[in-house]
Structure 1
Amino acid sequence: MPGCCAQVDIEHNTSDGKEGQENQPDEVDDQHEGRGRVQGRKEESRRDDEARRNHKGKGCEGEYPPPAAPYKPFAGIGGGIASFLFGGWDLSLTALALMMAFDYVTGFLAAAKEGKLNSNVGFWGIVRKAGTFIVVSAIYWMALNALPDAKQAVAVRDGVAIAFFFTEGVSVIENCGRLGVKIHPIVRQAVNQLRQKGEEKNGGQNLS
């Protein structure tokens, strides 16, 4: 009987050893699977970080686009009006508008210095500036209906705008002289010549 018990114990231990060996590969597989999951999470996290960086770099591309600038609707309306009245807004009209602003500001300051400041005169000065753009628009539309090509009408419009531009420039220089800015005689002579040329182009009439 003792021998039988010993044999049973040996067989039991042997079976336990075999079961341990059989379970060992399962534990190794579980370890590999756990490592794979961790690496997968790290890879997903890395891809998410790259996606966020790309989203920040692109700025306008993404799920939520940035809000439109508040001035864009007004810019679109202004561009449509300019295109209708003048055939577009380009450098010649920008230069004319800028010179008109210079003329109005310098004329206002010169009148204030001389004690001749008058709100009524200032109001009609603004009306005169607006009338200048009305003339430019009217000539553009007349040229658009008289000439076969719209580009030729734009060229005529540019010529008229440039003529008014030089007249406004002459007035700006004169206003600066009234403010006490020292103007060289050569500059004054050039101003007078420009004024004469402007009057000749408009049938001897002063555009200012």
Structure 2
Amino acid sequence: MIKQIGQTVLTAAVGSSGKETAVGGIVAAVGTFLAASLGGWDVALKLLVYCMVIDYATGFLGAIKTKSLNSEVMFWGGVRKGVVMLVVGLTVQLDLFLGNDSPLYRTLALYFYIGREGLSIIENLGVLNVMVPSAVKERLQQLNGKDDNQ
């Protein structure tokens, strides 16, 4: 009985096969490397990643709704999000190079990109006919140089 419980716990922890264990180890190593390269898995980085996923999903849904789904546009959107992560990694290195005790440039980059993703999400919600406050809608139309007649 105790041996069976031990085997169950071990299998749950490391997997039932060598492949499961190897894949789990690789995923853990890559995830740890990425989190460290991006300055740690903190709330600001989580928010950026969540915003990126929501933006990609709402953009995809908006393209389906407007019948303008394009795999090349989706691919380059994904590439842009990858480049954003490279910029965040670069700002981590810049903070280290300058000897900053706190991640000043990383924080600025994260907040800037969170804001950009937020604006894109709001635009996508407008395409999906989700209610957006009129003040926000007016400001976005000003930023895009559009008016209600277009």
Is TM more than 0.5 here?
Answer: yes
CA deviation after TM superposition for structure 1 residue 88, in Å: 1.6
Alignment match, 2:148:
none
Alignment match, 2:9:
66
Amino acid at match of 2:107: D
Question: Which ranges in structure 2 are unaligned for 5 or more consecutive residues?
Answer: 16-22, 144-150
Amino acid at match of 1:66: V
Pick from 130, 136, 144 the counterpart of residue 181 of structure 1. 130
Identity of aligned residues (%): 34
Q: Following superposition, which runs of at least 4 residues in structure 1 exceed 3 angstroms of deviation?
A: 69-72
Pick from 159, 169, 179 the counterpart of residue 108 of structure 2. 159
SS in structure 2 of the partner of residue 66 of structure 1: helix
CA deviation after TM superposition for structure 1 residue 72, in Å: 5.5
CA deviation after TM superposition for structure 1 residue 76, in Å: 4.3
Alignment match, 1:75:
28
**Could you say if the C-alpha distance between residues 187 and 69 of structure 1 is closer, same or farther in structure 2, counting changes exceeding 3 Å?**
farther
SS in structure 1 of the partner of residue 129 of structure 2: coil
Tell whether the 8 Å contact from 1:79 to 1:89 is kept in structure 2 after alignment.
no
**TM-score normalised by length of structure 1:** 0.54
Pick from 68, 71, 75 the counterpart of residue 123 of structure 1. 75
Q: Which has the higher contact order (CA 8 A, sep 6+)?
A: 2
**TM-score normalised by length of structure 2:** 0.73
Question: Which ranges in structure 1 are unaligned for 5 or more consecutive residues?
Answer: 1-51, 196-208
How many pairs were matched up? Answer: 129
Aligned alpha-carbon RMSD (Å): 2.5
